[in-house]
A and B are shown apart, each in its own frame.
Chain A
Amino acid sequence: MTTVRIYVTYKQSVFDPQGEAITNSIHSLGHDEVQSVKVGKFFDVVIDPSKKAVEESVKEISEELLVNFNMETYTYKVLEEK
């Protein structure tokens, strides 16, 4: 089984109000070194690679469900293969 972590975030051009609120809070703590924070979500998906190529499976489920391409984008990485 292959465990893949899919990260979904707003596109660069889309205003992320949570990210801005958190950035402001971090600045309140005195962390002026922090320039920005972007909030997203991740999905840990366990895939059986004997049934479908992992890359293809990730692309399909991301594009068909996990990501709304009007406002979001995604990346992923393989966490575990066993």
Chain B
Amino acid sequence: MKFAVIQFPGSNCDIDLYEALHTVCGADVEYVPSKESSLDGFDAVMLPGGFSYGDYLRAGAIARFTNIMPAIVKMANEGKPVFGTCNGFQILTEAGLLPGALKRNDSLKFVCKTVELEVVNNDTIFTSEYQRGEKINLPIAHADGSFYADEATLKELEDNHQVVFRYSKENPNGSLHDIAGITNKRGNVLGMMPHPERAVEALLGNTDGLRLFKSILDHAEVKA
């Protein structure tokens, strides 16, 4: 299974994602600059955190126009794993691959700390290594992470079990329904504000993010 880590101008968590997959999981992974237009030969695509295009207009809004986006949409439509963390999540909503939007935190502050999450749905290709209802801790680092969607969309997300992670002890940003991560209806596109790639080694103080990457790799093995 081969992963692509997309590098947009302004991405700054691309190396973290790459190393989580390459060094920690021993996976086959390559950087792909957003000016490229093909993802042929890749089985999964990862969108890193950061500030693509300086968050101009809205976080993630400009990255949608990069050359690589049609290839990412194609992979999503083919049912391949597409994952976005932080700015990657914002890009996936702006590109219409995930519903809703991420707006300014209610506190107006950039929040950088470790928060407790509940794994709401472990029946996905990204979370099969977790227990349903399990509490995990992951770092967050964002100013625009307040998930917003209208009532009808929220109901649809809940009814289809698309809410995968919820903030459990405290809601750090004002997200509706305490939403920290969602999938698309098909379940192959996951966006989340927390950073699992920053919690993959004991040396980092936390390994709760590791099983997310293991889940994707397990899924590939089962399929093969």
Contact = CB atoms under 8 A, between A and B. Distances in A.
Nearest to B94: A68
Q: Which of B103, B104, B107 has the most chain A CB atoms inside 10 A of its CB? A: B103
A-B pairs, 10 with minimum CB distance: A70-B101, A71-B101, A17-B106, A71-B148, A17-B108, A68-B101, A71-B103, A70-B100, A68-B58, A17-B104
Contacts of B149: 70
A2 interface: no
Nearest to B108: A17
A14 B57 contact: no
Contacts of A21: 108
A17 B107 contact: yes
19 contacts: A10-B103, A13-B150, A14-B103, A15-B106, A15-B174, A17-B106, A18-B104, A66-B57, A68-B58, A68-B61, A68-B94, A68-B101, A70-B93, A70-B99, A70-B148, A70-B149, A70-B150, A70-B153, A71-B103
Interface in A39-82: 65-66, 68, 70-71
A18 B58 contact: no
B11 interface: no
Contacts of A70: 93, 99-101, 148-150, 153
Contacts of B103: 10, 14, 71
A71 B148 CA distance: 7
Contacts of B100: 70
Contact of B105 (A13, A14, A17, A71): A17
